[in-house]
A and B are shown apart, each in its own frame.
Chain A
Amino acid sequence: MSEPLVLIEHLTKSYRRGDQVVEVLRDISLNIPAGEFAALMGPSGSGKSTLLNLIAGIDKPDSGVLRINGLDIAGMGESDLARWRAQNVGFIFQFYNLMPVMTAYENVELPLLLTPLSRRERRERVELTLSMVNLADRMDHTPNELSGGQQQRVAIARAIVTDPTLIVADEPTGDLDRASASEILGLLQQLNQQLGKTIIMVTHDAAAAARARTLIHLEKGELIAGQAA
């Protein structure tokens, strides 16, 4: 049997706040197969965003096994990890995190600067991706000229333009009205079902979580329900 895309065993993570050490994740073991759309749920402080950050390779665990697509990312150095993220992870943030001075086109082009693609190839890729999120007619607009839903669609286009192995979304609908949120969740579902993208999404919203295929529930840094290893 092949290894799941995300393999986590006995993962722990703690932070130091002043003199105190706060244990955020305790002995987490979890498998997420390729092509999954998983929702990480839990109350504030449960450690769901921390777990997402570890899986995305922007934070490091204290102990345990963390393998993505067979690669031990916990043991990688900063520059290797940065390269790995550029090639394998697409990020969707709650507040979109777009470059405010750049157009939608330029924002989507940004991750492609780290690839060997030519300018022409980049243009083809960006235009295709923006049309996938129905923003082909808004590519010359800057973020402040777009609605929240449109900005998040630009962020989704930026996340998928490099064709990553894994898409991580941290509260992708947290800053949106219901209609825009539904639209974004539909888009994520499409990416998962039609393109087979593996998506791990942190959410507070039960309606958003209901769109995922798997629910992973965390409470006080421990796994309550989900697909255990």
Chain B
Amino acid sequence: MYSLRLIFKNAMRHKLRTGLTVLGLVVAIFSFGLLQTVVDAWYAGSEGASNTTLITRNKTSLVFPLPLSYQARIRAVPGVTGVGYANWFQGVYKDPKNFFAQFAVSGESYLNIYPDYLLPAEERAAFLHDRKGCIVGRKLADQYGFKVGDTIPLKGTIYPGNWELVVRGIYDGRQSSTNTATLFFHWDYVNETVKKIMPRRANQIGVYVVQINQPENAASISAAVDKEFANSLAETLTETEKAFQLGFVSMSEAIVMAIRVVSFVVIIIIAAVMANTMAMSARERLGEYATLKALGFGPAFLALMIFGESMLLALVGAAIGIAILFPFAAFLGKVMGTMFPVFQVSQLTVLLQVVAALTIGAMAAIAPTIRAVRINIVDGLRSIG
């Protein structure tokens, strides 16, 4: 109790210096957490991917489609328990700046593979029965004010024309990390129109979504699917959904790496500032440390005083930094809308922030503690007066 009181009073000895140091820590821990959250948002799609879902795409490139006829042959591969498909649509809602993901999907077979999309039974049924129906995620609905029954007009880019979709349901995510910023509608609706205006592009889909029985069978089933279509006009490349998503992330890996580096540089800078603060404090108190040693206090007590003060400042800074990160991340998530479908502070980020704060506190205390412990009592006492 006495020690805690002394640590606290020492920390409050120079209120301005302590305040500025804590402010620096708040900014550093907050920035570190925010940048980590941005990186997490980048990886959110791959993190939310299921271990029992594979993606089969055209081996040449994702921009080339696959024939609809592949569905039955993929379904027949041993270990495959379900096959759906999806097409990237890229329609414009009112203005090109209103960007959000839209997929034309295979309806029930697609939804069955993604149980993390929680949709009331009646809305699911309404969607499946309406050829022009669509479902939107909660985040998307909140951003644009979509309600069940609303008509969403999309201007096609890949598939020219004006497309009118009726909202039949709003889905939520089973987990907080589930993407709820996407619109799904029926591939059949697209295909019927395409048959009329661009017959050569009919019955072509973007990717197959393949559900398998066991995650450990992913490699063998992927190989079996690709073997099935080897030497065909449209050879396939099958990989786990996570690997598929990471393929997109890797395109911007340099940016992610830069963000990561900056987040750690921030921590290193504040560690140096904190070390300077603690060194100044310890230098001013050498006489007191010498007095404590003269009275019989050992190195452990001095270390407790210095580490305790350093840790106290670091943890107070971290606590405030973490506390303000949550509302700010929520605000930023809203402002950025569907640019980052999932933008939230993870438990791992908070843990990293706490670890960073403890590391800063410990690093800043090492040099002053060594100096205090090594001080010659007579020399230290001479510094008073």
Q: Which of A2-10, A110-118, A198-206, A209-217 contacts B (4 or more CB under 8 A)?
A: A110-118
Chain B residues with CB under 8 A of A102:
5-6, 9
Indicate if B99 sits at the interface (CB-CB under 8 A). Answer: no
| CB atoms of B10 and A101 under 8 A apart | yes
Q: How many A-B residue pairs have CB under 8 A?
A: 65
B295 CB contact (under 8 Å) in A59, A91, A94, A106: A91
Listed from nearest, the 7 A-B pairs whose CB atoms lie closest are A86-B296, A101-B9, A97-B291, A58-B377, A95-B385, A85-B296, A82-B296
Indicate if B223 sits at the interface (CB-CB under 8 A). Answer: no
Indicate if B297 sits at the interface (CB-CB under 8 A). Answer: yes
Indicate if B293 sits at the interface (CB-CB under 8 A). Answer: yes
| CB atoms of B384 and A113 under 8 A apart | no
Q: List 26 interface pairs A-B (beta carbons < 8 Å), by A numbering.
A: A53-B377, A59-B377, A79-B298, A82-B298, A83-B296, A85-B294, A85-B295, A91-B291, A91-B294, A93-B384, A94-B385, A95-B384, A95-B385, A97-B287, A97-B288, A97-B291, A99-B288, A101-B12, A101-B13, A102-B6, A106-B2, A106-B5, A110-B292, A113-B2, A114-B295, A175-B385
| CB atoms of B287 and A101 under 8 A apart | no
Contacts A58-B377, A97-B381, A99-B288 given; indicate if A82 touches B297 (C-beta within 8 A).
yes
| CB atoms of A86 and B295 under 8 A apart | yes
| CB atoms of A99 and B384 under 8 A apart | no
A53 CB contact (under 8 Å) in B291, B292, B296, B378: B378
B384 CB contact (under 8 Å) in A86, A97, A114: A97
Query: What is the predominant secondary structure among interface residues of chain B facing chain A?
Result: helix
Please provide the chain B residues from 326 to 385 with a CB less than 8 Å away from any CB of chain A in the complex: 377-378, 381, 384-385
A-side residues, CB < 8 A to B, are: 53, 56, 58-59, 79, 82-87, 91, 93-95, 97, 99-102, 106, 109-111, 113-114, 175
Q: Counting chain B CB atoms within 10 Å of each CB, which of A53, A58, A91, A97 scores highest? A: A97
Chain A residue nearest to B296 in the complex (CB) = A86
B-side residues, CB < 8 A to A, are: 2, 5-6, 9-10, 12-13, 287-288, 291-298, 377-378, 381, 384-385
Q: How far is the CB of B196 from chain A (nearest CB, A)?
A: 84
CA distance A7 to B288 in the complex (A): 30
B381 CB contact (under 8 Å) in A93, A101, A110: A93
| CB atoms of B293 and A82 under 8 A apart | yes
Chain B residue nearest to A57 in the complex (CB) = B294
Q: How far is the CB of A46 from chain B (nearest CB, A)?
A: 16
| CB atoms of B291 and A93 under 8 A apart | yes
| CB atoms of B9 and A111 under 8 A apart | no
Chain A residues with CB under 8 A of B12:
101
Chain B residue nearest to A159 in the complex (CB) = B295
Q: How far is the CB of B12 from chain A (nearest CB, A)?
A: 8
CA distance A113 to B295 in the complex (A): 11
| CB atoms of B10 and A59 under 8 A apart | no
Chain A residues with CB under 8 A of B297:
82, 86, 114
